[in-house]
């Protein structure tokens, strides 16, 4: 790969069939905790509590690199075909800039084929219900 990309659903998008590169940094952040307090039914004021973490959205800007317009159109078609598997649920996601961290992510961005096939920057966002990555080092 010529730069920073990512692997999603075991597909290396920096590979020659795709040449999809991330041109903006993503800095993981600690998500907000949500506290849940519930009053227990038919008790004298007893409560139960717990907490969960808000989901994480990984948002980056990308470009498709190619040696010609025809190659870029082919790569755009390959990228769209590979990313459309989002309807099958969350997939393992690793950003090259954080190679030891793996999230379970679902793509949530609509793809603009015109931006992709002309070499312009376009947004990609991935939703992670569990905001914490797994260490895969």
Q: Is the CATH code 2.40.30.200 the one for domain 6-135?
A: yes
Separation between Cα atoms, residue 126 and residue 59, nearest integer Å? 6
107-124 tens-digit pLDDT = 998 889 999 999 999 999
Q: Is 129 left (phi over 0), alpha (psi -120 to 50) or beta?
A: alpha
41 vs 28 pLDDT, higher one: 28
pLDDT band at 42 (very low <50, low <70, confident <90, very high): low
Q: What are the b/e assignments for 18-52, b being 16+ CB within 10 Å? A: bbbbbeeebebeebeeeeeeeeeeeeeeeeeeeee
Where along the chain do its domains lie?
Answer: 6-135
pLDDT band at 106 (very low <50, low <70, confident <90, very high): very high
Interval 9-14 mean pLDDT: 93
């Amino acid at each position: 790969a010529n730069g920073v990309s990512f692997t999603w659903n075991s597909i290396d998008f920096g590979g020659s069939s795709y040449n999809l590169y991330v041109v903006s940094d993503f800095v993981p952040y600690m998500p907000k905790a949500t506290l849940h307090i519930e009053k227990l039914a038919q008790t004298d004021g007893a409560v139960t509590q717990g907490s969960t973490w808000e989901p994480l959205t990984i948002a980056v800007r990308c470009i498709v690199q190619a040696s010609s317009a025809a190659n870029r159109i082919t790569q755009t078609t390959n990228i769209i075909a590979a990313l459309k598997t989002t309807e099958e649920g969350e997939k393992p996601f690793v950003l090259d800039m954080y190679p030891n961290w793996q999230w379970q992510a679902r793509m949530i961005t609509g793809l603009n084929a015109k931006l992709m096939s002309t070499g312009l920057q376009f947004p990609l966002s991935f939703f992670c219900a569990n905001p914490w990555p797994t260490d895969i080092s």
